Structure formats: structure tokens, C-alpha cells
Amino acid sequence: MIGQHDKLGRFVSATVYIFSLKPYTEHNLAIILRRDFILKTIDLGYSHLPVSNVALGIMRMDALDVAQATKVLDTAADLGINYIDSADIYGGGQSSTIFGQALKQAHVSRDQLYIQSKGGIVPGKRYDFSKAHLIEAVDGELQRLGVDYLDTFLLHRPDALMEPAEVAAAFDELQMSGKVRHFGVSNFNPMQVDLLQAALNQRLIINQLQFGIMHTGAIDFGLHTNMQDERSLNHDGEIIEYSRLHKMTIQAWSPYQYGNFAGVFLDNPKFPELNNAMQQLADDKHVTKSAIATAWILRHPAHFQVILGTMNPEHLKQNAAGADVDLTRQEWYDIYFAAGNDLP
């Protein structure tokens, strides 16, 4: 909890943060002043949209009823989360539908949120970046979400048959019609980004990637440069360095997972050293281990945005609290070591 000596700092932080919200309301100010932590905002790529550095991912919202989903959305808004991440395939589209119904009942309005969706994955057909499909994907999401436009639309996974000019035509039509304001990609490597970007009239501002304490391939190879071991292999290109140079925001999905959807590493007996190290830090900083996992990602100077996918309001509070935890360089590397990594 916030102590007496932190009151001035809290007031200053709240005052700065409140003016980044859209729009300013006394309700938002009251929420922030009683919150136990302050979320930070980042510029979303070249767009300069002031977005919270943690976002609410609604992939699992299809498991909730509208009342439960409304509570999750209200909790996120109360925490200062102003960014929503969806995709046309989440829950077969039901996740977006439930969100759209919940938004009508929540105490947060559409113009206070940045809403993102993704398209290009077709169950049974794999991937489809054709103009017709991308426009159909956006139209379907607008209807399910109950909104007139998306702030951002991402290509969900690379399509080996992508024709950049056809994607460019789709993006132009979506932007000129007012259906999508900004564009990005997900799970793309640097050369795939460059190939697509060369055909576009819009800047790609996001690349959504899996990243977290137990999914660090994007930084491992850089730390092992000029070493003769498998960690020095560059599997994905210099995606973090590329994103920093090109002012693309990296959104971290599944931040608490290990492997390829193998499970969560938090409180997992497979990772005793990591959990012990995280628990010690959590105790020192009066937060949960999930908050430490969030803070670890946000400590990186690439200015990640972390996608939080929990549908439990209390867990959402605990996870988001990591946005206000500052890790030292030593603490960051201690966690990296505890996850089973080493350095030359």
C-alpha cells in the first residue's frame, strides 16, 4: 500500500497521468488517486498515441458472461488500462462479441479506449492475407465489437503467400473508409516487416511477439554474440533492435508462459529457482510474482507493451501492479539467471 511519504509523489504522478487519458473526467481522477499504483504511458510506435504500457487481452473472454466481462473491463479501466487487444479468431469470434456487449454496460466509453484486433488466420485454411479476407475480417470484428473503427489492426501471423501490394490495397481501403486508423503485424521477423512496409502507404507501428522471462530468444542470441553455442543462433532476426530503430512498439503476448503454450512458469514446480528468486523480489517490493514478471519485461529499454490475458479481476490488479515496479539492472539479470540462462 502507499505510505504517507508517497502522497506527494502519488499526486504528481496522478496529475500527469490524468491528462494522458481520453477524455479527462473527474471519475478517472478519483479512481487514480485511490489506486495503489500508477500505470505508465508509452507512445505507440510512430502514432504517438498515449497508451498504457499494459493492455487487456480478451482472448479468453468467450468463457465469461456479459456481467463478468463488464467487471473485467471496469477493473481494467479503473487500473488505467486503456488498450484492448482482440483477434477475429478468439473464441471463434465470441470473445469480441462478449466484449462488445460488456462495453455497453461498462463505466468506460469507446472514446476512452484504444481497441485493437488481428486477422489473417483462417481455421482450416491456415493463413489468408488476401484483400477480400482482410476487409472481411475487419468488418466482422467491427460488428462483433460493436464499434465503428479499430485504432489498430494487425496481421496475426505471416502468410507465406502474402502479396504485399494486395495487403497495401486492403490497408488503403480500410484506412480511407475510416474503419482502421493504424496498422501493425504480429509474429513477423524484420525482413518480413521490410518486405511488407515497402509496399505500404502507412507506417507499421506494432509487432506483437511472445516474450517473457521464459521466452527470451529475442535477446539470448545478442548476449551470446561471437560464442560457439546454440544460444548465439539468430532465429528471428534482430527483432528487438529492429523495432527500436524503426520505432515499432513490441507487444508481449503470453508473458507468463514457457515454451510453445506449454504452461505458466509461475508457481510451477519445474522452475523452483526462478520462483524462489521472484518470490524474494516480490516480498521486498510488496507485490506478487506475476507483478515481478510484468516488471521484468517493462524494464527493457525497448518500451514493451505487455498484454495481460487474465479474466480474473483480482489477478488483473496483481499483474498490472508490475507496471509500477522498478527493477535494478542487477535484479533484472538475477531473474534472467534464475530462469536457467547464463552469460559468456
CA dihedral 5, 10, 11, 16 (to 10 degrees): 150
Question: Does 175 map to a domain?
Answer: yes
- Where in the sequence is the domain holding 7, given as residue range(s)? 1-34
Q: How many domains does the chain have?
A: 2
Do residues 47 and 3 both lie within one domain? no
Question: Does 343 map to a domain?
Answer: no
Do residues 25 and 168 both lie within one domain? no
Predicted pLDDT at 166: 99
Predicted pLDDT at 189: 96
Query: Checking phi first, is residue 118 left (phi over 0); if not, alpha (psi -120 to 50) or beta?
Result: beta
Do residues 22 and 142 both lie within one domain? no
Predicted pLDDT at 16: 47
Predicted pLDDT at 260: 83
**Cβ–Cβ under 8 Å, residues 293 and 212:** yes
Question: Does 216 map to a domain?
Answer: yes
Do residues 124 and 9 both lie within one domain? no
Predicted pLDDT at 24: 44
All residue ranges of the chain with pLDDT < 50 are: 1-20, 24-25, 27-28, 30-34
Q: 277-294, pLDDT tens digit by residue?
A: 999 999 999 999 999 999
Residue 186's CATH number: 3.20.20.100
Do residues 93 and 27 both lie within one domain? no
Question: Does 344 map to a domain?
Answer: no
Grid cell at residue 277: 528468486
Do residues 323 and 229 both lie within one domain? yes
Do residues 76 and 25 both lie within one domain? no
Do residues 3 and 109 both lie within one domain? no
Do residues 238 and 323 both lie within one domain? yes
Do residues 16 and 44 both lie within one domain? no
Q: Please give the model's pTM, rounded to 2 decimal places.
A: 0.89
Cα 259 to Cα 237: distance, rounded to the nearest angstrom: 19
Question: Does 247 map to a domain?
Answer: yes
Q: 16-32, pLDDT tens digit by residue?
A: 444 445 554 454 454 44
Question: Does 99 map to a domain?
Answer: yes
Predicted pLDDT at 22: 52
Do residues 85 and 159 both lie within one domain? yes
Do residues 305 and 234 both lie within one domain? yes
Q: 40-97, pLDDT tens digit by residue?
A: 999 999 998 999 999 999 999 999 999 999 999 999 999 999 999 999 999 999 999 9
Predicted pLDDT at 35: 56
Predicted pLDDT at 221: 81
